[in-house]
Structure 1
């Protein structure tokens, strides 16, 4: 699916990719849902992938809250830069390694809904006009939301599907 270019496309792409991802997760028998991925991947199982998505939703929600209050959020997170994403993602994986799968499913569902409320409350222009908000720099709010929803869900679907084939 091409990158969303409008509010309508963002809502649909995000929800469709999320539904596809969760449909894939729910289609696995219980034993396979807990199966470890092949070595060499940071996220070791479905829980890790869903916890990763949830934590990135939380980062987006924090950026949005701080940014819309006229302040500059730490991006991607305090103590990290975009160049240190692997380190941040390892930290996320480590902090969530004892989270039960069912809790990860509930958390990602809840945070997905919160992100969608942000999308729904903004106009197309507010979402896709570059430089509209100081905190988003040279890009648009929509670009951050795409990265945290439709694109991220597509990545998650592909890694789960690839890791659990056979």
Structure 2
């Protein structure tokens, strides 16, 4: 599907990709859901993928909260930049290793809904107008929202699908 260009498209595609990802995970037995992926991926199993997605929701909330308070958030995270994402993502993975798939899934589902609720509170113009908010730089809020919602869910789906072949 094309990249969302309206609030409605963003919400619809995010919901669609969220359901697609969860339905795909549900198609596996419990044992398959907990089985590690073949060697070669940083995210070693479904829990890791969902924890990654959940944590990026949390980072989005932090960016949003700090930014809407008139301050400049550290994007993607304090001490990291877009070139050091692999290190950040490794740290995220390590932070969730002791948490069960069920707990991670519950957190992911909750943070998804919270993100969708946040998007719903805004107008299409507020979401998609570039440079509207100082904290987004040359981007619009939607660029970050798409990154942690619809496109990130598609990434997770494709990673799990490739690993389960």
Q: Same fold by TM-score, threshold 0.5 exceeded? A: yes
- The separation in 2 between residues aligned to 1:127 and 1:27, in whole angstroms, is 34
User: What residue number does 1:143 align with?
Assistant: 143
Q: Distance in 2 between matches of 1:103 and 1:112?
A: 14
**Could you tell me which residue of structure 2 aligns to residue 108 of structure 1?**
108
C-alpha deviation, 1:151, in angstroms: 0.2
TM-score, structure 2 length as denominator? 0.99
Query: Corresponding residue for 2:72?
Result: 72
Moved over 2 A (4+): none
CA distance in 1, matches of 2:55, 2:26: 20
State the distance in 2 between where 1:106 and 1:133 align.
Answer: 32
How big is each residue's C-alpha offset from its partner over 1:70-108, in whole Å with a ceiling of 9 and x where there is no partner? Answer: 110111111111111000000001111121000011000
SS in 1 for 2:145: helix
Q: Structure 1-normalised TM-score?
A: 0.98
Q: Secondary structure at the match of 1:4?
A: coil
Cα deviation, 1:110-131, whole Å, max 9, x if unaligned, reads 0001100111000000000000
C-alpha RMSD over aligned residues = 0.6
Q: Does 1:35 align with 2:12?
A: no
SS in 2 for 1:158: helix
CA–CA separation in structure 2 for the residues paired with 1:66 and 1:99: 28
> What stretches of structure 1 of length at least 5 have no aligned partner?
none
